[in-house]
Amino acid sequence: MDIVKGRGVLEEVRNIERALYVIGPYTERFLGNGRKVYGSTRIEDLDRIKERAGVVVGVGGGKNLDSAKYLSKRLKVPYILVPTIPSSDGIASPSISLFQNGTRVSLFGNPPEKVYVDLDILESSPIIYKVAGMGDILSKYSSLFDWKLAEEKGYDKIHKTSYRMEKKALKIITNRPHNTEKLLEALILSGKAMALAGSSRPASGSEHLLSHAIDIIRHRMGLKPNIHGIQVAIMSVFTSYLQGNDWEAIKSFLEDHGVLPSLKTLGMDVKMFLKALRMAPYLRERYTILNEYMPSKHETEKILREVGLA
């Protein structure tokens, strides 16, 4: 994949020949003329789109980018990503997360042909999305542990280069968390690690399974999803405790950046969390700490109090 980074580079994607632009109400203003469709979190909505294209261009946040990836896969054409917020490593990864029939579906496509990184737009995005991007990278403490655990148990094999790339992304965030350009470097590196591994395994473990379960519950309740990077980071506090990792470091990082790591922040109570915890291991065939150890209701409530999530 080619990364086109600079100031004002969005101008280069305004009028691509035979392009289908996937946008949202907040990103339409970035584009001029051209065929446009709205992104959706639901595959059913995207399957109703009858437009044809030579290339699909996703402009915006996770919903629009994942919609573009899905439409590209369905139409069998390349795609270009133009992130307008640095909120997750989906800005450069082939991983797709959408809803189908009320449940989260994880798909994997080809890497993007190009990713346009407009520093003027990304640097001016709200701080909460930058913290979300940091949170998504922080969650790799949990996902990388789970990947190693799965290899030790004979359920998976680590791609060493991808593993090192995720570790480097983590180092970038912990060393220079307030630099937007460095944050983007870490997010793109994580996306490339997934592309190289051929799956989202390097970047997604028990914390993402819990996050997906929460998304499903909220979706069925008619509630909007939480900001992904914030949610997976908070879930990493819980899963890191189960793993015997330094959950306090993740919690402190979030607190230092203005995020209260709690169920309340995610609009949920202990009962809802318990439901998500029971659902999470069955969402996909991926061995994690939740297969190794599933705490009882009493143990879970005790852990939540100990780590300060409840």
Span 93-120, pLDDT tens digits = 999 999 999 888 989 989 999 999 999 9
Q: What is the pLDDT of residue 15?
A: 80
Across all residues in the chain, what is the average pLDDT?
94
Domain 2-123 falls under CATH 2.40.30.10: no
Residues in the chain: 310
Which DSSP state fits 304? H
**pLDDT of 177 strictly over 70:** no
| pLDDT digits 0-9 by tens, 6-35 | 998 988 888 888 899 999 888 877 776 678
Instruction: Look at 103 and 287; give whichever has higher pLDDT.
Output: 287
Across-strand partners of 83?
60
Choose the CATH number for 127-310 among 2.40.40.20, 3.30.70.580, 1.20.1090.10, 3.30.750.24. Answer: 1.20.1090.10
Neighbour count for residue 252 (Cβ, 10 Å): 12
Residue limits of CATH 1.20.1090.10 in the chain: 127-310
CB 203 within 8 A of CB 93: yes
Kindly report the backbone phi and psi dihedral angles of residue 69, in degrees, each rounded to the nearest multiple of 5, phi listed first. -60, -45
pLDDT-derived band at 41 (thresholds 50, 70, 90) equals: very high
- Smallest CA-to-CA distance from 60 within 33, 30, 35, 17 is with 30
The single-letter DSSP state of residue 103 is E
Tell me the mean pLDDT in the region 253-261.
95
CA 180 from centre of chain: 17
Amino acid at residue number 9: V
Asked if 138 and 228 touch (Cβ cutoff 8 Å), the reply is no
- 57 to 75, 200, 217, 242: CA distances (angstroms): 13, 22, 30, 40
The answer to whether the CB of 55 falls within 8 A of the CB of 78 is yes
End-to-end CA distance of the chain: 42
The answer on pLDDT for 125 being more than 90 is yes
The per-residue pLDDT for range 289-310, each reduced to its tens digit, is 999 999 999 999 999 999 999 9
- CATH 3.40.50.1970 residue window(s) in the chain: 2-123
Per DSSP bridges, beta strands 19-23 and 55-60 are parallel
Question: Between β-strands 114-118 and 79-83, what pairing exists: parallel, antiparallel or unpaired?
Answer: parallel
